[in-house]
Amino acid sequence: MSAERPGAVGLRWLESRWQSRHGEPNTQDVESAMDDPLTLPKVEASSNMDVKEFLHPILFGVAEEDLDELAQAAVTWSFPTGFDICQEGEAGDAVYVIVEGSVAIVKRMDDENERALYTAGPGEMFGEMAILQEGARTATVRTVEPTVVLEIGRDPFLTVLGRSPSLGVRTLVRLSRRLRDGDQQAMDELRETNKELTKALQRLERLDRTKSDFIQVSAHELRTPVAALLGYAQMMKNYPTAQRDPMLQQLVAGVVTSTERLHRVFNSILDVSRLMSGAIEIIHSPVSISVVFEGIRLQFEQALEERHLTLTLVGVDDLPMCLCDPDMVYKVFYNLVNNAIKYTPDGGRVTVTGQTMEVPELGQCIEIAVEDTGIGIAPGDIGLIFEKFYRTGEVALHSSGTTNFKGGGPGLGLAVAQGVVLAHGGRIWAESPGYDEKTCPGSRFIVQIPLT
């Protein structure tokens, strides 16, 4: 087959390709490209094949005069392997029918990688979607082997389509089949992805169980000698010799304080492990929330005084007795108040508000809100702060006190609080306008526990 210079349709095609690769073309560029086999794909002489005869079975039912018009408008192109016949994003100015070879339709994804949608072979058409939608190409068409195609310009194709119901029906059927095949491929890929995700989730669950078992066993084993160490340290603190020596008394007090903190950390870890495994035992008995908060106030009395913080209780004394686990409920509100103190700058306020209310699905409940004037919580952290070991902002690696502003900690308090509240059949959530260490928008933690 001898090569010929392209006609009007082919020239427009060449100009658009040159523009997409090299910028706005001039006459000399295009003329040079036509004669340069390295820049212009070979243009086959259409006289060597009967285009109308080729299109007849593909467009069966189209009137003879319409076939004649399409055949006359067609230009035959021959492309090497790996050539982009259509490029995603460019204007749709023609449709193509594959004569020989095959092409791959690929889509550029958000991560800039390409995904192969499907392949097309002899007798199949592509490029009509962009013309029908009067938009840009939605995918790139690339040859996977030496390929010959017929190119039919936009105007003659739309002219024949406008007066040929048969061509319209065939186009719709072809596009519907393509969409169906694309949906099926997407479903198959999604099914395979779900299988892989399920396997990965199962592996993560096994690893999480292994990790939880290790943490629980380690915390339990370490808590025993720490408890003994705490007992000995407290005995040393009360020993007459230590009480007579101010320096020794200060050293022993430091040992007691650090050991107590270490003991609390191990207890928190064990609480989280039990809550995760469902092994925690809730002992229901009548509990006075007012008494709980009086104990918490005494616990933090020194820290509140040192940092000039105000802890205010509103409506807590009026709350009725509720059936819950006294020790577990104490941990809930201890951790919430401790969290409020930790993230509130010196001189701030912590307000605890209590009320009874009817809650859908829970019935009659007590609602406790712990509100602070602290640095607040970023929107992205609201849904994560109750996760075990999660901390907002920079992780404090120093061994500061748990009541110091932004002091260190293992990040277990809120996880324990959530687990205990859920174990009581209640609800817990956080609210905050946002995170800002200058304006201190504050945060609010709400707990709802059924009365019965």
The β-bridge relationship of strands 94-100 and 147-153 is antiparallel
- Between the alpha carbon of residue 67 and those of residues 93, 405, 406, the distances in Å are 19, 82, 79
The rounded distance, in Å, linking the Cα atoms of 298 and 370 is: 17
Q: What pTM was computed for the model?
A: 0.51
Burial class (CB in 10 A: 0-12, 13-18, 19+), 401: middle
pLDDT value for 253:
83
Q: Which two tokens stand for residue 441?
A: 């928008």
CATH 3.40.50.2300, applies to 282-450: no
340's enclosing H/E stretch is helix 326-342
What are the Cα distances from residue 437, in Å, to 343, 376, 381, 440? 9, 8, 15, 5
Q: Each residue's pLDDT tens digit in the chain (452 positions)?
A: 333 444 443 454 555 555 555 555 555 554 555 454 444 444 443 445 688 888 888 887 788 888 888 888 898 888 898 888 888 888 888 889 999 999 998 888 877 788 888 888 898 888 887 777 777 888 899 999 999 999 988 888 888 888 877 777 667 667 667 667 666 766 777 888 888 888 988 888 888 777 767 766 776 777 788 888 888 888 888 888 878 888 888 888 888 888 887 877 777 777 776 766 666 778 889 999 999 999 999 999 999 999 999 999 999 999 999 999 898 899 899 999 999 999 999 999 999 999 999 998 889 999 999 999 999 999 888 878 887 665 655 544 444 556 677 766 666 788 888 888 988 999 999 999 999 999 999 999 999 999 87
pLDDT of residue 217: 74
Centre a 10 Å sphere on the Cβ of residue 186 and count the other Cβ atoms it contains.
Answer: 11
**Structure confidence at residue 289 (pLDDT):** 93
Tell the burial category of 402 from Cβ atoms under 10 Å away from its Cβ (0-12, 13-18, 19+).
middle
Helices (H), 88-164: 128-133, 154-163
Of the candidates 75, 122, 69, the residue with the CA atom closest to the CA atom of residue 94: 75
Second-level CATH architecture of 191-280: Orthogonal Bundle (1.10)
Domain boundaries, the chain: 8-163, 191-280, 282-450
Q: Name the strands in the sheet holding 443-450, side by side, starting at the edge strand that comes first in the sequence.
A: 310-314, 349-359, 363-372, 443-450, 427-431
pLDDT of amino acid 334: 93
Beta-carbon neighbour count of residue 33 at 10 Å? 18
Alpha-carbon distance of 346 to 292, in angstroms, equals 25
First to last CA, the chain: 91
Q: Cα–Cα distances in Å, from 394 out to 382, 390, 407?
A: 16, 11, 11
- Please choose, from the candidates 266, 402, 263, 420, the residue with its C-alpha nearest in 3D space to the C-alpha of residue 332: 420
Amino acid 5: pLDDT? 41
Pairing type for strands 363-372 and 322-324 reads: unpaired
According to the model, what pLDDT value does residue 314 have?
A: 95
User: What size, in residues, is the chain?
Assistant: 452
Q: Look at residue 291 in the predicted model and tell me its pLDDT.
A: 94
8 A C-beta contact, residue 442 and residue 432: yes
Distance from C-alpha of 2 to C-alpha of 44, rounded to nearest angstrom: 6
Q: List the CATH code of the domain at 8-163.
A: 2.60.120.10
